[in-house]
């Protein structure tokens, strides 16, 4: 998989998790741009993309929303584990992500750590505006 495909995959997982959550009015990190991160794959330089967001919500049944998220993740090959104490949360990994989490309090949050693929993370940082 190319770095561009890995970045797109991270975005797809995030968007589909948002849809599964049932919440609306999500605010995505970094203006909806996944953050490239250095990693190592098979002893070589790699890049992974991280992303996330939050929604301030008063959902009636956060446990059901967490279960829906877990079911979506399982459907795409992510191992998911639901934790209900003290609030409903879901943790996952494998398949299409390195790690992923969904929490229902305070508000709803999603954090996605994408898979590591060969590449240079610094090639995917946007240049800073000149001062």
Which DSSP string corresponds to 28-93? EGGGG-PEEEEEEETTEEEEEEEEEEEE----S-HHHHHHHHHHHHHHTT-EEEEE-SSS-EEEEE
Q: Does the domain spanning 3-124 belong to CATH 3.30.2030.30?
A: yes
Domain spans of the chain, in order of start: 3-124
Q: What is the DSSP letter of 121?
A: G
The pLDDT of residue 127 is 61
With vertex at residue 128, the alpha carbon angle to CA 117 and CA 37, rounded to the nearest 5 degrees, is 20
Indicate the pairing of strand 117-118 with strand 97-103: unpaired
pLDDT of residue 104: 95
Mean pLDDT by 10 residues, the chain (131 residues): 96 97 93 93 96 92 96 98 95 96 95 97 73 42
Give tens-digit pLDDT for 49-72. 999 999 998 888 999 999 999 999
- pTM above threshold 0.95: no
Query: Distances from the Cα of 99 to the Cαs of 20, 115, 116, 117, in angstroms?
Result: 17, 8, 11, 14
């Amino acid at each position: 998989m190319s770095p561009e495909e890995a970045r797109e995959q991270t975005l797809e997982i995030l968007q589909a998790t948002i849809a599964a959550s049932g919440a609306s009015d999500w605010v995505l990190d970094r203006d909806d741009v996944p953050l490239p991160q250095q990693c190592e794959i098979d002893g070589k330089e790699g890049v992974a993309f991280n992303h996330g967001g939050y929604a301030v919500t008063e959902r009636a049944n956060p446990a059901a929303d967490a279960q829906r998220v877990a079911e979506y993740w399982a459907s795409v090959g992510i191992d998911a584990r639901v934790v209900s104490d003290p609030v409903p949360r879901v943790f996952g990994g494998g398949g299409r992500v390195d790690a992923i989490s969904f929490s229902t309090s305070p508000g709803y949050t999603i954090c996605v750590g994408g898979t590591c693929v060969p590449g240079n993370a610094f090639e995917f940082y946007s240049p800073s505006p000149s001062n």
